[in-house]
Chain A
Amino acid sequence: MSRPRGQSWLAAAMLSPTMIVLALVVFYPLVAAMRESFYTSGQTLDADGFVVEGERFAGLANYAGVAGERFLNAALNTTLFTVVTVGLEVVLGVAMALVMQRAFRGRAILRASILVPWAVPTAVAGLMWKWIFQADGVANALLGTEILWTADGPWAKLAVVVADVWKTAPFVGLLVLAGLQIIPSEVYEAARVDGASAGQRFRRITLPLVKPALLVAVLFRLMDALRVFDLPYVLVGPRKHSVETLSGLIWDEATRVHYGPASAYGTALFVYIAVIAFVFVKLLGADLLSDVRQRRKEARDVG
């Protein structure tokens, strides 16, 4: 590594295609959306009653909808969906990981089956659960109920949650399992010798040691859940009050060529996600960072 200057040039050359693509598909849209959120387009009448075409600066007019019922409902739906699904997925994921950790025979079959929900496209999973949750479908038949799961209403929220948890809890389980597998078995042996019960071993050893892996998984899941779109769209439908998410609302406004409000809502969603990510990293950052530091140390030891 005696030529750091040459390496910087090479690094710049190798990174430039990525930077160009990200500039085009991420940073340009981001900046354009933020700008757009302050403009209105289409025909309007000016003060003298003349028709004005094209874009006009609109100040915060597009953001008026952020205080409106539809946006607040979508924000509430998104938040509720995120809290409930991520919570359930963590609990189920940890439980699955603990079971899988002990499995020796049949591990390959287990691993293959756990990847199935992950591999099913979300749109297909949405249709699958829509079918299961039909009024005359198998869910009502097994439960002995006559619930209209996929019609606009409170039950639709539950149907979306069930479908998402089914699809994602196994994935969280895999991530947690990977975290569990780096815990040396001697630690458990020592605890057992010292007389720690199974519950104590879980709370005092497993949880703290698996926490960094779990936190990263939760962060990724939070970010994914906050921008959910396709599952409620397919399972219940677009423009359904009970399950409309922020992404769904933005999409709807954009496809009706209401670019101004769509951009304003999009910017609001972006800020919301950024704040959640920031708070999450801030509150739990010590753990995330200690994990990074630990890995860096490992990398140094190896390299």
Chain B
Amino acid sequence: MWGRAGMIGIALYCLVPFYWMVVSSFRRTSDIYEISPLPSPWSLESYDAVFAEGMGFGRSLVNSLVVAGTTTAVTLVIGTLAAYALARLRFRGKNVILALVIAVSMFPGALLIVPLLKLFTSIGWINSYQAMIVPSMSFALPLTIWNLTTFFRQLPYDLEQAAMIDGCTPFAAFRRVMVPLAAPGIFTTAILAFIATWNEFIIAVTMVNDQDVQTATVRIAQFTGAAKFDTPFGTQMAAGVLVTIPLVLMVLFFQRRIVSGLTAGALK
């Protein structure tokens, strides 16, 4: 009974603010300040406004997809190699490198952007995808390595040894035996890295000021209404829902994996 109340409390705590964003996105601009629990009447006015010309929202979704997708793909390739070495090979200085990877993940992004902004300005990278992709690896790579190292450690040693006894080189054992075995872990890590990059803000808002290259999180925050000081809340809520929906779907489909990935990365 008590536990049931607690569960309902947690669910309400997590969902009610989000619910309010969804409800507000379906109101008409004229009754955006209503506080009825359901919109009356329902309206797609805000969603029309999001995709109106000049808002650049559709474009920004594509930009987010390109930036988060590329960062995730590159990071996974590099990170899988590193994680395998850290988890399964014997060499000196392993703990130093592991400590370094953790330390790097705690670096303040604000410090890193200062010299990078200067550098990218001088080499003409401002307003380019790579100006967001490359710095994003500073947080995506440690996350990937940390998660995959934990995952590779849990795999049994026998298979890899059997492969090497059968004449595989250690690298072939990694590529043909371990990577396929680690596929679920790599997939989980990909989701986490993708979400982290999709949600990234400080790099994107610093390196890009051209609306055509901006990612969705930055674009929404810079929506302006008809008048300069008139914040278009309905439009922002609709855009917020659209940006969050892919993530919420991922969460619904892969919740078990995500939870295990999050806790493994942080606890082990």
B236 to chain A, nearest CB (A): 5
Cα-based distance from A227 to B244 in the complex (angstroms):
23
Q: Is the CB of A109 within 8 A of B11?
A: yes
A246 touches which of B100, B110, B138 (Cβ 8 Å): B110
Cα-based distance from A24 to B141 in the complex (angstroms):
12
Q: Mark B6-26, 1 if CB is under 8 A from A, else 0.
A: 110111011101101100100
Q: Mark A136-170, 1 if CB is under 8 A from B, else 0.
A: 11100110000000000000000000000010001
Can you show 25 pairs from A to B with CB atoms below 8 A apart?
A21-B137, A26-B112, A99-B9, A102-B6, A106-B7, A112-B255, A120-B244, A121-B198, A122-B201, A124-B217, A124-B244, A127-B236, A127-B240, A129-B17, A166-B13, A177-B263, A178-B259, A229-B109, A230-B201, A230-B217, A234-B201, A234-B221, A254-B110, A254-B206, A266-B110
A90 to chain B, nearest CB (A): 14
Considering the complex, give the chain B residue whose CB is closest to the CB of A107.
Answer: B7
> Which residues on the A side are within 8 Å of B92 (C-beta)?
8
- Asked if B84 CB lies within 8 Å of chain A CBs, one says yes
Cα-based distance from A54 to B183 in the complex (angstroms):
52
A227 touches which of B91, B110, B119, B206 (Cβ 8 Å): B110
> Which residues on the A side are within 8 Å of B267 (C-beta)?
175, 178-179, 213, 216-217
A28 to chain B, nearest CB (A): 7
B163 to chain A, nearest CB (A): 14
Q: Is the CB of A18 within 8 A of B81?
A: yes
> Which residues on the B side are within 8 Å of A118 (C-beta)?
251, 262
- Asked if B104 CB lies within 8 Å of chain A CBs, one says yes
Q: Mark A102-142, 1 if CB is under 8 A from B, else 0.
A: 11001011111111111111111011111110101110011
Q: Is the CB of B111 within 8 A of A30?
A: yes
Q: Is the CB of B89 within 8 A of A10?
A: yes
> Which residues on the B side are within 8 Å of A208 (C-beta)?
none
Q: Is the CB of B10 within 8 A of A229?
A: no
Q: Is the CB of A7 within 8 A of B91?
A: yes
- Asked if B135 CB lies within 8 Å of chain A CBs, one says yes
B82 touches which of A15, A130, A179 (Cβ 8 Å): A15
Q: Is the CB of A174 within 8 A of B259?
A: yes
Cα-based distance from A77 to B94 in the complex (angstroms):
38
Q: Mark B249-267, 1 if CB is under 8 A from A, else 0.
A: 0111001101100110011
- Asked if B33 CB lies within 8 Å of chain A CBs, one says yes
- Asked if B134 CB lies within 8 Å of chain A CBs, one says yes
B90 touches which of A7, A14, A113, A217 (Cβ 8 Å): A7
B residues near A (Cβ < 8 Å) are 3, 6-7, 9-11, 13-15, 17-18, 20-21, 24, 33, 35, 77-79, 81-82, 84-86, 89-92, 94, 97, 100-101, 104, 106-119, 134-135, 137-138, 141, 145, 153-154, 157, 170-171, 174, 195, 198-199, 201-202, 205-206, 217-218, 220-221, 231, 233, 236-237, 240, 243-244, 247-248, 250-252, 255-256, 258-259, 262-263, 266-268
> Which residues on the B side are within 8 Å of A76 (C-beta)?
none
| Contact residues, A4-21 vs B (CB, 8 A) | 4, 6-8, 10-12, 14-15, 17-18, 21
- Asked if A66 CB lies within 8 Å of chain B CBs, one says no
- Asked if A226 CB lies within 8 Å of chain B CBs, one says yes
B143 to chain A, nearest CB (A): 11
Considering the complex, give the chain A residue whose CB is closest to the CB of B138.
Answer: A25
Q: Is the CB of B240 within 8 A of A10?
A: no
Q: Is the CB of A131 within 8 A of B85?
A: no
Q: Is the CB of B157 within 8 A of A26?
A: no
